[in-house]
Chain A
Amino acid sequence: MGETFNSLMMGFSVAFQPEVLMYAFFGCIIGTLVGMMPGLGPLAGISLLLPATFGLNPIIAIVLLAGVYYGAMYGGSTTSILMRIPGEAASVMTCVDGYAMTQQGRAGPALAIAAIGSFFAGTFGVIGLMLMAPTLASFALRFGPPEYTALLLMGLFVLAYMSGGSMLKTLAMAVLGLLLGMIGIDVMSGYTRFSFDIVELGDGVGIVPVAVGLFGISEILLTAGQVDPPKVQQPTLRQLIPTKADLKLSVGPIMRGSLLGFMIGIIPGSAHIISSFVSYGIERRLSKHPERFGNGAIEGVAGPESANNAAATGAFVPMLALGIPTGPVTAVMLAAIMVHGILPGPMLIQQQPDLFWGFVASMYVGNVVLLVLNLPMVGLFVNLLRIPYAYLYPCILAFCILGCYSVSNSTMDVWIMLVMGGVGYVLRKFGYDLAPVALGLVLGPMLELSLRQSLAMSGGDYAIFVQRPIAVTMLVMGLILLGLALKPLIFKSKDWRSSVGLDKTID
């Protein structure tokens, strides 16, 4: 514990450097603006900003991108509450009761509770990250290729079980992503696969053009030609103060949402989206007056908002401890670290303590920045929503092209982005979740390498996966979850999605 405290102090000495502090501040501001814009979620924001971080040192780069991430989570809730426009998918549940509160003239308390809940959950998540990541990383030093294979397979099975929509469609998208990850040079044999004589594809398909195409371009194609946004309410500072009753009602949902969100955040998939749905379902079930939900219940804002912010932080645990992304956002952030020659994995915390602890400390700072800065400035930020969409979307498109080109100064990345944008548009029309594609793309080469290394180790004996206790435990857990996910398909029974209303909203 003393060692953790000392490391954290070292982290704060990094985070309080004026330059790091400034970038954390800018990250939060940019993130808030990005989160408020329909069509630009945290992923698109981080992807577009990635090339701009190449010239920065790795600590500043990751602090800036993390600021954008949790700033965007916060920004998304503001538009959900004030305009019923979820800036990003995790804020969908906040729309329900948040907007109902706005219609009752209680936008201020809704915004304040969302901010307080996000702050508490964010801080809780950072404490969890600080305590869990080093322990998990030490444990992961025992991992060899079979354990990594089992871990990645378990991650994919968990993804199928926890997916927001149809399990089969989620699995299909994950496999499609894994196949995309097969493009490029096979590191074990030297064969260049599926590159169709395009030199740039030899290095594989990058996560940034795929992510920007799937999430940014497809969103713009879907919302093309929409009417300008409705009138925006601007609560004053005085109106932001919640009543004692509001605070009393929100304490439980904030605490439950924080714990739940963090736990869900650690596992792969669209954790921050799922956690907000599950939290809403739990709060409605626990409430003595469930009929209030949907009509402006403050618990319906406090729970999901806390859960999605805690999940956003929880996602950093496997990313920093194991070097494994749990979703597209952490995948892009891993790419940002690797650009600087830093190898993610269990050794990261030992080899780069200033990066890990500086990052942890900067997240404490970022949470405070978001609370004290964004809440009083909410009136200023909502002015962005007054920009007519006719002006906004061409500029977002130009940014997408610029961002993808800048990653490797190649128009090939822009072509990939456009193809993925078109594919993403059609897939969304057919009700497919796109996050597993991006996740599969990153996990594909890892899974293939660890599988083939495992077989090389065992001389081709697949029993290696059941002879090693950690690997077999993870495989069994994954298979149990896959079985649970398949049960509703076989027996036509209801699964957990129906109980939290996730099936109706996502599908």
Chain B
Amino acid sequence: MIEAKDADVQVKGGLRSDQISGVVLIAIALVVVWFNREFPVGTLADPGPGYVPLLLACTLGGIGLLVAVMGARSQSLADTAWPEATRALIIMGACVAATFALERIGYRLTTAAFLVFFLGVIERKHPLTVVMVSAGFSLASFYVIGVLLKVPLPRGPWGF
């Protein structure tokens, strides 16, 4: 029983999630300090544009250190499950592609292609449903937001 417990401790050992996140916070603070060197910090009595960012970066670094130090009892990094990570990466990739396309081929084509990708390729829905939902959503949302509510939406080189 004790052996089993020890084995469990061994499995649960290693880096903790708070230790990692604390180190990342310190790294962010250091990056801010590095880029902040371009701006005059001024004096305590007459702070310059670099004063408050430096103060905040130091505070963030300090908090990051505390999070890392006190994170020894947090969840093991190995126990943090990422079952949706692959799907999340695909979603982010599709969003990046849509953002690139938005001003180049227009709102309606981008949205239609975006939905065809998700519904047809990722979710594998019936082709007719895919076409109907994609075309319907892109045209209806353009009409409501772009035409009725007069929000200017990008049009492609072909005028739509």
Interfacial chain A residues near B80, Cβ < 8 Å:
429-430
CA distance A394 to B83 in the complex (A): 19
Task: Indicate whether A418 sits within 8 Å of B47 (C-beta atoms), given known contacts A168-B67, A406-B151, A429-B80.
Answer: no
The verdict on B13 contacting chain A, using a C-beta distance below 8 Å, is: no
A182 contacts B52, C-beta separation under 8 Å:
yes
Are B119 and A394 closer than 8 Å at their CB atoms?
yes
C-alpha gap A55/B145 in the complex (Å): 11
The prevalent SS among residues of A at the interface is helix
Q: Is the CB of B141 within 8 A of A402?
A: yes
Pick the residue among B43, B95, B141, B149 that contacts A399 (CB under 8 A).
Answer: B141
Minimum CB–CB distance from B62 to chain A (whole Å) comes to 9
Of A51, A186, A455, which contacts B151 at CB under 8 A?
A51
Q: Is B78 an interface residue (CB 8 A)?
A: no
> Which residue of chain B is the closest to A399 with respect to CB atoms?
B141
**Bound Cα distance A402, B141 (Å):** 9
| B51 CB, nearest partner CB in chain A, Å | 8
The answer to whether B119 touches A390, judged by C-beta atoms less than 8 angstroms apart, is yes
Fill in one digit per residue for A92-123: 1 if any B CB lies within 8 Å of its CB, else 0: 00000000000000000000000000000000
Residue of A409, A411, A430 near B152 (CB, 8 A) is: A409
Q: Tell me how far the C-beta of B132 lies from the nearest C-beta in chain A, rounded to whole angstroms.
A: 11
- Roughly how many angstroms separate A263 CA and B99 CA in the complex, as a whole number? 42
**CB of A222 closer than 8 Å to a CB of B:** yes
Q: Is B109 an interface residue (CB 8 A)?
A: no
- The answer to whether B56 and A179 have CB atoms under 8 Å apart is yes
- Tell whether B156 is near chain A: CB-to-CB under 8 Å: no
9-residue interface stretch from A189-197, A321-329, A333-341, A350-358: A189-197
The interface stretch among A125-133, A170-178, A376-384 is A170-178
Contacts of B57 in A (CB 8 A): 179
Q: Which of B53, B83, B119 has the most CB of A within 10 A?
A: B53
Q: Which of B141-160 contact A (CB under 8 A)?
A: 141, 145, 149-154
Find the B residue at minimum CB distance from A171: B63
Per the bound structure, the CA–CA distance linking A429 and B133 in Å amounts to: 32
Is A229 in contact with chain B by the CB < 8 A criterion?
no
> A220 near B119 (CB under 8 angstroms)?
no
Contacts of B20 in A (CB 8 A): 430
Does chain A have a CB within 8 A of B27? Answer: no
Query: In the complex, A461→B150 CA distance in Å?
Result: 51
**A194 — which chain B residues lie within 8 A by C-beta?**
32, 35, 53
Q: State A395–B151 Cα separation when bound (angstroms).
A: 18
Instruction: Looking at the assembled complex, report how far the CB atom of B122 sits from the nearest CB atom of chain A, in whole angstroms.
Output: 8
Closest chain-A Cβ to B149's Cβ sits at a distance in Å of 4
Q: Residue A425 at the B interface, CB < 8 A? A: yes
Give the A-binding residues of B (Cβ under 8 A): 17-18, 20-21, 25, 28, 32, 35-36, 39-40, 43-53, 56-57, 59-60, 63-64, 66-67, 70, 74-75, 80, 82-84, 87-88, 91-92, 94-96, 98-99, 102-103, 107, 111, 114-115, 118-119, 123, 125, 133, 137-138, 141, 145, 149-154
- Can you list 19 contacts pairing A with B, beta carbon distance less than 8 Å? A55-B149, A176-B25, A179-B56, A182-B53, A182-B56, A193-B53, A221-B91, A390-B125, A397-B118, A401-B99, A401-B114, A406-B151, A411-B103, A421-B95, A430-B17, A431-B74, A432-B21, A447-B52, A459-B45
Q: Identify the A interface with B (CB < 8 A).
A: 51-52, 54-55, 168-169, 171-172, 175-176, 178-179, 182, 186, 188-189, 191, 193-194, 217, 220-225, 390-391, 393-395, 397-399, 401-402, 405-406, 409, 411, 414-415, 418, 421-422, 425, 429-432, 447-448, 451-452, 455-456, 459-462, 489
Known contacts A52-B151, A409-B154, A411-B99; can you find 6 more A-B pairs with CB under 8 A? A179-B32, A179-B57, A224-B88, A225-B87, A401-B99, A402-B107
